[in-house]
Structure formats: C-alpha cells, structure tokens
C-alpha cells in the first residue's frame, strides 16, 4: 500500500495500532474530509423560490445544513417565518423575503434586499410551482370546459415562475461569471400525466428551458454558471393531495394506487429524499454537470409497468 505524498512523520504509533494501520486511518479520514468539502456550501448564498412549500422548505433546511445562507422566498409570511425559525434554531443562517415569482417588480425588490443583506447570490433554486384543481380534467370537468384563466395560471406559474427569477437573479451570476441554478421539473415532463394538462406541458418546457439556459449561460457568460433540474417522482403534498387521496377518508385514490404500482420502490417520496441530489447539483461535486434533469423518483421513470 502506498501513501505517496503523505506526511508519515505526523502519523505516530498509537494505542497499540501499528503505524501502518494508523496511516491508513489518517489517509481515509483526510479523503473523507476532502469528499465532504466537495459537497459543502459554506459561505454560499442560496435563494430558493417556493422555499415555503412542502418540498421547498425541506430543501431550504438541507441547503442550510450544507452550510449555505438561505434566502426563503414566498408569498406566505407565516410559512416563511416558520422555515427561517427552523433553520435558525438548528444553528443555520436564513432570512425570509416576500416575493411573487410572477411579478418582476417583486423579484427585483427581493434581489435588492438579498444584495443589501448578503452582498451577493451564489445559488438559485427555482422551487415555486404547482397545479390547480380547476386546471385538471376530471369526471366533473372536461377538457373542453377547462377555464382559460386556470390553465394560463398553471402554465405561467411553472414556466414564467422559473424564467423570471432566473432573469432577475441570473444577472448577478452573469456579472460575477459564477453561479448555479436548479430548476424543479416533474415526472410529467417526460411523458404527460393524465388530467394535468397545463402542468405537464409547463414542466416539459422546464426541461427544455434548463438545457437552453445551460448552453446560454456557458456560451455567453461563463462555463462556471451551471443550470440543472431535478424531476421529483410522486410526493404527497398539498398540490396533489386531491388527486392521490380521497378527501373524506384519506384512502388512496385509484390514481394514487396506480402510481405506487408503477414505482418500483413501492412508496411515495419523502421531501428529504430530494436533499442529497439537490446538494450534489448545487455544489462543486457536480462542477462538470450542466443542462441535465435528474429524476428522483423511486424508479418510476425506468419502469415500463411490465
């Protein structure tokens, strides 16, 4: 076994462990520290839209645990405060700022507040998004009766609600020639899910946008600006509860059961299942990765159903 370059004189014999065994522990520990550093976000400022949501709040906590100063953006003051308090009580640094991702003025005001407070932005997570019941076909609502306002809102929230924050915060990355953007797509982006027409189309557009932005930022600003996305599988949250569970009994709907049958891991995701992939994608651990959409889905996408 060779330890080329190791400082062997700093590794004495200890407590009956031979010098060679001790050198091996030293080597492994040093490599483990280097490996942890690869994923660390110490000193980075991470802005997360939808930081007040079920998935976004868990991602906010995860970013803080990895060392980032987290800016939780959302419209709901109570939920913003709850996430910030959680992070602070765990010893992390976080601030909540009111922001509507569909309103450029609101985004610019949020950016000004972030820059005043932290001086820069390093990471943008575009977590705001979701579906609406009145934009979803059902036995009570046919495709032909879907209200234009509802469809328009869902498409705008998921698509423009990702593009507009990227314009506003991405400008900081373009100026300093460094930064990371992470979008949130969905399983319905690859093959559209029944019923959720506007949501599926908008999430497909997120995959396209992710690739477009990755190339654009690299070619026009810096190869040190990366843009990727995650495509979560099925997580039981407020936006899909009405589709996956019966309102009165809480039992799984036929759709909920079908999803589980098509998920080889046989369960819905837990929000914490997303954290490791997100930290990988926003840290130096993925520094040669840009323009990809990573499924985090318990195998849903890989399974043909047969």
239 part of the interface to ligand NAP, by CB under 6 A: yes
Nearer to ligand NAP, 49 or 290 (CB): 49
Instruction: Specify whether the CB–CB gap between 267 and 201 falls below 8 A.
Output: no
Residue 234 sits in the site that holds ligand NAP (CB under 6 A): yes
| Of residues 74 and 179, the one with the C-beta less far from ligand NAP | 74
Q: Does 237 bind ligand NAP (CB under 6 A)?
A: yes
Residues 142-171 that bind ligand NAP (CB under 6 A): 157
Q: Shortest approach of ligand NAP to residue 249 CB, angstroms?
A: 20
- Min CB(80)–ligand NAP separation in Å: 7
For tokens 């990895």, name the residue.
Answer: 66
Nearer to ligand NAP, 217 or 268 (CB): 268
Number of residues that bind ligand NAP (CB under 6 A): 29
Q: Which of 184, 197, 275, 293 binds ligand NAP (CB under 6 A)?
A: 184
**Of 68 and 206, CB closest to ligand NAP:** 206
Piece of the chain touching ligand NAP by CB under 6 A; list 73-81, 107-115, 167-175, 215-223 = 73-81
What secondary structure, in 3-state letters, does the chain show?
A: CCCCCCCHHHCCCECCECHHHHHHHHHHHHHHHHHHHHHCCCCCEEEEECCCCHHHHHHHHHHHHCCCEEEEEECCHHHHHHHHHHHHHCCCEEEEEECCCCCHHHHHHHHHHHHHHHCCCCEEEECCCCCCHHHCCECCECHHHCCHHHHHHHHHHHHHHHHHHHHHHHHHHHHHCCEEEEEECCHHHCCCCCCCHHHHHHHHHHHHHHHHHHHHHHHHCCCCEEEEEEEECCECCHHHHHHHECCCCCCECHHHHHHHHCCCCCCCECHHHHHHHHHHHHCHHHCCCCCCEEEECCCHHHCCCC
Does position 130 interact with ligand NAP (CB under 6 A)? The reply is: yes
Q: Are 71 and 95 in contact (CB under 8 A)?
A: yes
The stretch among 18-26, 84-92, 230-238, 252-260 that binds ligand NAP (CB under 6 A) is: 230-238
Is 199 part of the annotated catalytic residue set? yes
The whole-angstrom separation of Cα 78 and Cα 94 is 15
Piece of the chain touching ligand NAP by CB under 6 A; list 109-117, 125-133, 211-219, 249-257: 125-133
Residue selected from 74, 170, 198, 295 as contacting ligand NAP according to rule CB under 6 A: 74
- Is 76 among the residues that bind ligand NAP (CB under 6 A)? yes
92 vs 256 by CB, closer to ligand NAP: 256
Quote the Cα angle for 184-157-96, to 5°: 70
Binding mask 42-61 for ligand NAP (x = CB under 6 A): -------xx-xxxxx-----
Nearest distance from residue 163's CB to ligand NAP, in Å? 13
What are the residues binding ligand NAP (CB under 6 A)? 49-50, 52-56, 74-76, 79, 99-102, 127-130, 157, 184, 186, 232, 234-235, 237-240
């Amino acid at each position: 076994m060779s330890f080329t370059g190791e400082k062997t004189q700093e590794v004495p014999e200890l407590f009956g462990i031979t010098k060679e065994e001790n050198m091996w522990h030293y080597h492994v520990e040093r490599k483990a520290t280097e490996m942890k550093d690869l994923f660390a976000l110490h000193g980075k400022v991470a802005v997360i839209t939808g930081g007040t949501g079920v998935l976004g709040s868990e991602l906010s906590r995860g970013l803080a645990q990895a060392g980032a100063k987290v800016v939780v953006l959302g419209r709901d003051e109570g939920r913003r405060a709850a996430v910030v308090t959680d992070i602070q009580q765990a010893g992390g640094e976080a601030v909540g700022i009111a922001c509507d991702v569909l309103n450029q003025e609101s985004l610019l005001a949020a950016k000004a507040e972030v820059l005043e407070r932290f001086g820069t932005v390093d990471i943008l997570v575009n977590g705001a998004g979701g579906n609406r019941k009145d934009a979803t076909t059902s036995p009570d609502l046919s495709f032909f009766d879907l209200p234009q306002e509802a469809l328009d809102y869902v498409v705008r929230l998921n698509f423009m609600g990702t593009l507009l924050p990227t314009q506003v915060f991405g400008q900081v990355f373009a100026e300093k020639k460094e930064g990371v953007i992470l979008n949130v797509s969905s399983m319905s982006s690859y093959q559209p899910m029944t019923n959720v027409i506007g949501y599926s189309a908008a999430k497909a557009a997120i995959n396209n946008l992710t690739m477009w932005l990755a190339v654009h930022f690299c070619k026009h600003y810096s190869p040190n600006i990366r843009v990727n996305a995650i495509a979560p599988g099925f997580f039981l949250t407020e936006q899909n509860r009405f589709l996956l569970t019966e309102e009165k009994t809480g039992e799984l709907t036929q759709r909920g059961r079908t999803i589980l049958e098509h998920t080889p891991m046989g369960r819905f995701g837990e929000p914490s299942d997303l954290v490791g992939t997100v930290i990988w994608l926003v840290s130096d651990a993925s520094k040669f990765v840009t323009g990809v959409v990573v499924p985090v889905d318990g195998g849903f996408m890989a399974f043909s159903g047969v």
